[in-house]
Amino acid sequence: MVSFLLCLLPALLATSAQTTPPATLTCKTCFGQTKECSFVPGICQDNKATGGCLSVAEDIKLDGTQDMSFFKQCLSSYKSDIKVPISFTVGNGQYVRINTAQCNDADNCNSGALEVPTGSTTENGLQCPTCFALNFTVCNSTITPCTGDETYCLDFTGFLKNGPSSSPFEAKGCATASAQDIKPGSTLISTPYTFSFYWGATVPAEKTTDGASPALGKFSFALYLPGLTGLLLVKLLS
């Protein structure tokens, strides 16, 4: 009898483990155009072992359209390529400013208000090539003074998804140090767009040279060449 019970015990334990539901994590959900995120408030739940809670605050102006929005939601997969505020300016009044935060340490850990990264008009003595182009149009860059805490130069190619549509893009500009977290293969999620980066680089910006175009040096090899190569790669993938 004892031997029978000993044989039966592992099976009972295995059955118990299979029927135990996974621990859940509760997150706040909402959407809005102010940091109070007041539209359709609610909650969602996901698997605490693999999921998390997300908060996003953003101000984006690209291709003539500006969008400022805030949202909270669940994450089925607790993964983020960029978890810190990021800002980059690509010339002609176009910019991307996104603050993304993820957590999975407690229920409703995304309850707090998230601030949009603040832009600045104060020049910081640095400069970068800037331009933004969609659908394989030529990204004609111009040397532009950087402002505020945007002390790096960014040059990336990839796909810009807006709803069901997806367009190849190239972007060059002044960026915050957090742009170094952008790597080929990473994504940056916002309300209107998803940026999928396929090729590029981020390097420290050079000092302003009174309008002289830095055609050689770091700008030439660390930025221009990856951008051209990236466009070819994106074209092959599209």
pLDDT in tens, 51-100: 899 999 999 998 788 889 999 999 887 765 666 789 999 999 999 999 98
Domain boundaries, the chain: 24-237
The pLDDT score that the predictor gives to residue 189 is: 78
Considering only residues 116 and 215, tell me which one the structure prediction assigns the higher pLDDT: 116
- The rounded distance, in Å, linking the Cα atoms of 78 and 100 is 13
Residue 136 has pLDDT above 60, yes or no: yes
Contact (Cβ atoms closer than 8 angstroms) between residue 86 and residue 178: yes
Which long-range contacts (C-beta less than 8 Å, at least 24 apart) are formed by 165-168?
167/134, 167/135, 168/134, 168/135, 168/136, 168/231, 168/234, 168/235, 168/238
Percent of the chain beyond pLDDT 90?
A: 49
Q: What is the mean pLDDT of the chain?
A: 81
Mean pLDDT of 148-173: 93
Buried b (16+ CB within 10 A) or exposed e, 185-198: ebbbbbbebbbbbb
The torsion angles phi and psi of 214, rounded to 5 degrees, stand at -75, 75
- The rounded distance, in Å, linking the Cα atoms of 210 and 115 is 34
Contact (Cβ atoms closer than 8 angstroms) between residue 90 and residue 139: no
Closest C-alpha among 129, 137, 145 to residue 224 = 129
Tokens of 181: 């977290």
The pLDDT score that the predictor gives to residue 172 is: 96
Residue 1 has pLDDT above 70, yes or no: no
Considering only residues 133 and 219, tell me which one the structure prediction assigns the higher pLDDT: 133
The pLDDT score that the predictor gives to residue 145 is: 96
Count of C-beta atoms within a 10 Å radius of residue 78: 18
- The rounded distance, in Å, linking the Cα atoms of 169 and 182 is 15
Cross-strand bridge partners of residue 166: 161
Residue 220 has pLDDT above 70, yes or no: no
- The rounded distance, in Å, linking the Cα atoms of 147 and 121 is 6
Residue 214 has pLDDT above 50, yes or no: no
Considering only residues 124 and 194, tell me which one the structure prediction assigns the higher pLDDT: 124
The pLDDT score that the predictor gives to residue 6 is: 42
The pLDDT score that the predictor gives to residue 44 is: 95
Residue 229 has pLDDT above 80, yes or no: no
List pLDDT tens digits, range 9-56: 455 455 545 566 778 999 999 999 988 888 999 999 999 888 899 999
